[in-house]
Amino acid sequence: MSNLLKCTLAIMMAGTLMTSCKKNQAIQTNDEVSDAVKSQVTAMGFSADGIQKANGGYLVEGDIFLSNDDLGKQTSSKSLVIANEEQYRTTNLVTGLPRTITVSVSAGSPSYFFTAADEAIRRYNALGMRLSMTRVTGTANINIVTFYQVSNTLGSSGFPDASGNPYNTIQMNTYWYSASTNIGYLASIMAHEMGHCVGFRHTDYMNRQYSCGGRKYNEGAAGVGAIWIPGTPTGPDANSWMLACSNGSDRPFTANDQIALNALYK
């Protein structure tokens, strides 16, 4: 959100965009990546721009973790594209509906992470879908794990597996948050990561330039699928919770986000 994929969310800090959700592995920024690995990454449908080594694999597209075992795998995934910026889902979704997904926050995390997790869960449950969430103590279906790292990594997650289970880990870097952090903003990041865990790709999947700036590029189907959700916009959705990059503001579900969520899990 498969162990392959994850999200991309970025924050505007001091007027500069920085990556908001990267994969849940520690970055090793001093290691160079070989051309052979870059070729494998590109062949899988990902951009090799800015690729970084991580423990056990590589970070691509700012937030997607590919393990060493994932590299070179032959994948067949669906990609149904109608326009340039829309709501997209992965091939795998959470199954066994109605279903309550348990969510935990790692013990010892700052108290505001628990508050933000509760707000993110509330936003999903307010839609009355057949997929609901509840926070528990201990091991859960989705485990929010906090860590500290002086880097531009703020959070990470992945996509559902082929068995219909949500991706089981969201990692949040406490380096970027404090007791004064706006809870709505932190909850929006967690809700974004949860969105990946249950099968959502970025709203601007086809053109990350829309929310991130810089060079225009398509994230690709990348082994997990990029399937348009009927009823969602065929044009930009400026405040979607699943945009690849954010200006750091609170982003509750827009009307189009709710259409997308209800289309999959109502």
Banded pLDDT at 19 (limits 50, 70, 90): very low
Do the domain assignments include residue 2?
no
Residue 77 resides in a domain:
yes
The pLDDT of residue 86 is 52
Domain presence at residue 76:
yes
If you write DSSP's letter for every residue of 186-220 in order, what string do you get? HHHHHHHHHHHHTTB--TTTT-THHHH-SS-----
Distance CA 253, CA 91 (A): 22
Structurally, the chain folds into a number of domains equal to 1
Q: Yes or no: say if 64 and 185 are a contact pair by the CB < 8 Å rule.
A: no
pLDDT at 209: 56
Say if 3 falls within a structural domain: no
Q: What is the pLDDT of residues 90-147, one digit of tens each?
A: 678 999 999 999 999 999 999 999 999 999 999 999 999 999 999 999 999 999 999 8
Residue 47 has a pLDDT of: 64
What pLDDT score was predicted for residue 219? 44
Phi first, then psi: give them for residue 95, nearest 5 degrees: -115, -175
Using CA atoms in the order 133, 175, 213, 44, what is the torsion angle rounded to 10 degrees?
-70
Strand-strand pairing, 16-19 and 10-13: antiparallel
pLDDT of residue 203: 79
User: Of 4-18, 83-97, 150-164, 198-212, which range is least confident?
Assistant: 4-18
4 within a domain of the structure (yes/no):
no
Q: Which pTM was predicted?
A: 0.76
Is 25 or 162 the better-scoring residue by pLDDT?
162
> Which tokens in the block code for residue 211?
């929310």
Range of the domain at 241: 10-265
Return the CATH number at 174. Answer: 3.40.390.10
Q: Flag whether 149 is in a domain.
A: yes
Across 31-45, 80-94, 155-169, least confident range: 80-94
Q: Which of 14-18, 85-89, 99-103 has the lowest mean pLDDT?
A: 14-18
29 or 67, greater pLDDT = 67
Q: Is residue 78 part of a domain?
A: yes
**Which band of pLDDT confidence, cut at 50, 70 and 90, is reported for residue 14?**
very low
Decide if 65 is inside a domain: yes
Pairing mode, strands 169-173 and 155-156: antiparallel
| Pair type for strands 16-19 and 27-28 | unpaired
Determine contact, residues 208/245, Cβ cutoff 8 Å: yes
DSSP the chain: ---S-----EEEETTEEEE----SS-EETT----HHHHHHHHHTT---TT-EEETTEEEETTTEEEETTTTT------EE--SSS--EE-S----SSSEEEEEEE-TT--HHHHHHHHHHHHHHHTT--SEEEEE-SSS-SEEEEEE--SSS--EE-----TTSPPP-EEEEEGGG--TTS-HHHHHHHHHHHHHHHTTB--TTTT-THHHH-SS------TTT-EEE-TTS-SS--TT-TT-S---S---PPPHHHHHHHHHHH-
> pLDDT tens digit string along 58-73?
766 656 666 687 676 5
Predicted confidence at residue 21, as pLDDT, reads 44
**Residues ≥6 apart with Cβ < 8 Å to 222:** 4, 5, 44, 45, 46, 64, 77
